[in-house]
Structure 1
Amino acid sequence: MTKAFASQGDMADKDVTFSEIGEGLWAFTAEGDPNSGVIIGDDSVMIVEAQATPRLARAVIEKVREVTDKPITHLVLTHYHAVRVLGASAYGAGQVIMSEKARSMVAERGQEDWDSEFDRFPRLFQGHEEIPGLTWPTTTFNDRMSVYLGKRRVDLMRLGRAHTAGDIVIYVPDANVMFTGDIIEYHSACYCGDGHFHDWPGTAERIRAFNLDAIAPGRGDALVGRDMVNAGIDSTIDFVRSTYSPAARVALKGGSLKEAWDAVRAECDPKFSDYAIYEHCLPFNVARAYDEALDIDTPRIWTAERDKEMWAALQG
């Protein structure tokens, strides 16, 4: 009998941390669960990442109300994944912003991604009955746009493909702080199932070039201070390369997906097995690395059915 995905058995509540990482900038983190960010402007608030459900979004709002009573007017979503976007309705934000590419991915694969992630993450989707449907942006952009929260400028940018083809970062120049979404993680595995391994390290280096004072990553603790920022970028790049290289060697020699899985485990287990969501991410990461090595540039759409087929193949 095929065992369950690691994430299906992860039902324990996570401890939430809400930390100030710059003036009026907060990181909502939860032991490897998806992070959210809070940007407080002169007269309003921007939220970065919605969470998976309105129930989880209200936990973010509760923390926001501990530090400000300003209205939440903007919600920015760094990419299209269900665990990031389906809680959007709880915020009541007048502006919901994505990259144009991320919106196209909602149209192309948003429902399939929702169905897939719902099956894989039972804990995160508790209270899913409140989700009104797919989350669609009110505003999109291609390469860069700026939003003004009063005098506070927030720059939204596409720096390159990484975790998905539509990733954006959110940069607050007056504090030199960036919210990177899942391009950068800290002591949490990168989910690469919809990623672009060849592009990811270069995108991470473009983040490094900002010489940031703090990063709120997609998962894991906030990175405050340049030493921690660089450590987070370094470990992310190492994770991506350590996953891709052994899988690619197997694929290019005509080996099987199971052989690629074994090769990646041999390389990554000693370095990353204690990272949050490592066991959950690994099968999807190997499958995508194997495909990319065979020149499949656009990640194949994950469906609940494909998830199970892949997992069964890896179990032998």
Structure 2
Amino acid sequence: MSKQFASAGDMAEKQTSFTEIGDGLWAFTAEGDPNSGVIIGDDSVMVVEAQATPRLARKVIDCVRGVTDKPITHLALTHYHAVRVLGASAYGAPQIIMSEPARAMVAERGKEDWESEFDRFPRLFQGHEEIPGLTWPTTTFKGRMSVYLGRRRVDIMQLGRAHTAGDAVIYVPDANAMFTGDIVEDRSACYCGDGHFHDWPATLERVRRFDLDAIAPGRGGALQGAEAVNRALDSTADFLRSTYRPAARVALRGGSLKEAWDAVRAECDPKFADYAIYEHCLPFNVARAYDEALDIDTPRIWTAARDKAMWDALQGG
């Protein structure tokens, strides 16, 4: 087993793409790196997900400027993770929107998450010196809110706990398209280290009930058409089941975290080993599944020190 997290050795630049998934809707994707979204209204633009640094955010802004000169007035953040939010300062001073639970998680664990992810993802945090500090929303909501970009309505909703307790989706009704954040992935591992395995499948089914024409997932390519949308929903659910069940069986019989790791690998490797960030996510996913099986409902805060202790336990087990 490697002595470092898989992502720590991934320093190759990723090829980005900018795909129109509906009228005035765009998905910025980067070969398994965090995606962003763009919603162009009558007179202004909303960006979904800020990226990890201002440097990466400027790549999104350059894409926006390639299709519209309308001002970016809103930044919607689906959750609190550092790789999604710390590039916010590059957008000027837009209205920054998060769910109330997501803001609470910034307050509770945002600094620790930043430090942890900084160690895990050195490539994504190149240019980190520009980050002015934690990203705080200027607007929060509970349950649902709507933003009007001229006549275009954008619904920002909490559909249930999944990747985190504060997840939101961004739905554009006139195009029947959704930006799901990391609730849905396409050919990318789900990061479950702060997730809720018991709740996540039901949240996926709430997404499915929209009968969407397009999804921009958290990672992976843009999904257009019912077949692609449902395939990604199904594969995300399968990934969750295949991770949780083997780990839970080990935890509930009193087995070790290393035994849970081996059991999850036996189930998941044949199906998901070629997925983006699979090796990186696996130890965090096993640790969280193990905890949740033991009725630890609130994910324990990841710190750089806890990351290393967990990794050492898996290597030395």
TM-score normalised per structure 1:
0.99
Give the aligned partner of residue 28 of structure 2. 28
Q: CA RMSD in A?
A: 0.7
Give the aligned partner of residue 159 of structure 1. 159
Q: Distance in 2 between matches of 1:268 and 1:175?
A: 35
CA drift at 1:205: 0.5
The amino acid across from 1:86 in the alignment is L
Q: Is it true that 1:271 corresponds to 2:271 in the alignment? A: yes
CA deviations 1:111-158 (Å, max 9, x no partner) are: 000000001100000000000000000000010000000000000000
Q: Distance in 2 between matches of 1:81 and 1:240?
A: 19
Kept in 2: contact 1:250–1:260 (CA 8 A): yes
Q: How does 1:42-57 map to 2 (within 5 A)?
A: 42-57=42-57
Give the aligned partner of residue 169 of structure 2. 169
Give the aligned partner of residue 293 of structure 2. 293
* Identity across matched positions, percent: 84
Secondary structure of 2:215 counterpart:
strand
Could you list the structure 1 runs, at least 4 aligned residues long, displaced by more than 4 angstroms after superposition. none
Q: Distance in 2 between matches of 1:155 and 1:93?
A: 21
Structure 2 unaligned residues grouped into runs of 5+: none
TM-score normalised per structure 2:
0.99
Give the aligned partner of residue 89 of structure 1. 89
Give the aligned partner of residue 65 of structure 1. 65
Kept in 2: contact 1:75–1:93 (CA 8 A): no
Q: Distance in 1 between matches of 2:170 and 2:98?
A: 11
Q: Distance in 2 between matches of 1:6 and 1:128?
A: 20
Q: Is it true that 1:11 corresponds to 2:17 in the alignment? A: no
Kept in 2: contact 1:251–1:293 (CA 8 A): yes
Secondary structure of 1:36 counterpart:
strand
Give the aligned partner of residue 307 of structure 2. 307
Give the aligned partner of residue 77 of structure 1. 77
Q: Distance in 2 between matches of 1:93 and 1:313?
A: 44
Q: Is it true that 1:121 corresponds to 2:101 in the alignment? A: no
Q: How does 1:193-212 map to 2 (within 5 A)?
A: 193-212=193-212
Give the aligned partner of residue 140 of structure 1. 140
CA deviations 1:196-237 (Å, max 9, x no partner) are: 000000000000000000000000001000000000000000
Q: Is it true that 1:101 corresponds to 2:106 in the alignment? A: no
The amino acid across from 2:127 in the alignment is G
Give the aligned partner of residue 189 of structure 1. 189
CA drift at 1:93: 3.7
Q: Distance in 2 between matches of 1:93 and 1:132?
A: 13
The amino acid across from 1:81 in the alignment is H
CA deviations 1:56-107 (Å, max 9, x no partner) are: 0000000000000000000000000000000000011430000000000000
Q: Which moved more, 1:85-94 or 1:127-136?
A: 85-94
Aligned length: 316
The amino acid across from 2:16 in the alignment is V
Q: Which moved more, 1:84-93 or 1:261-270?
A: 84-93
Secondary structure of 1:98 counterpart:
strand
Q: Distance in 1 between matches of 2:28 and 2:254?
A: 44
Secondary structure of 2:301 counterpart:
coil
Structure 1 unaligned residues grouped into runs of 5+: none
Secondary structure of 2:287 counterpart:
helix
Secondary structure of 1:258 counterpart:
helix
